[in-house]
Amino acid sequence: MKVKLLLTISIGLFLTACGNQQQQRDGQAIYYQSCVSCHERGHGGAPMRGDTKAWQERMEKGQAVLFRNLKDGYNTMPAKGACFDCSDKELELVLDYLINK
């Protein structure tokens, strides 16, 4: 009985800790966690961060289309840019970070 209670408490703490961490992520943090390996060097033809011309061309599709392609995956880019635990909100933040920089 006591063990079960302890277990419940530790699981609760564990979930709370994860929850807090999630809330602190901004676009930059997610970028360096998930997108940097491909988008910093143009790996596999990925448009690079800071390459204004490349992003301008992509932006002609509209940011909503870019967002959907990011979420669903696009050619060789994995769905959600490999940030599988990213929420829609977080994907929006990281997309802004990537195209505005």
CA dihedral 59, 62, 66, 71 (to 10 degrees): 160
Q: Check binding of 71 to ligand HEC (CB under 6 A).
A: no
What span, in angstroms and rounded, lies between the C-alpha atoms of 62 and 97? Answer: 16
Binding segment for ligand HEC among 5-13, 14-22, 41-49 (CB under 6 A)? 41-49
Query: Which are the contacts of 14, defined by CB distance < 8 A and separation ≥ 6?
Result: none
CB-based closest residue to ligand HEC: 81
Question: Exposed, middle or buried: residue 35 (CB in 10 Å: 0-12, 13-18, 19+)?
Answer: buried
21 belongs to the binding site for ligand HEC (CB under 6 A): no
Question: By CB under 6 A, is residue 75 in contact with ligand HEC?
Answer: yes
Q: Is 37 in the site for ligand HEC (CB under 6 A)?
A: yes
Residues near ligand HEC (CB under 6 A) = 30, 34-35, 37-39, 43-47, 58, 61, 65-66, 69-70, 74-78, 81-83, 94-95, 98
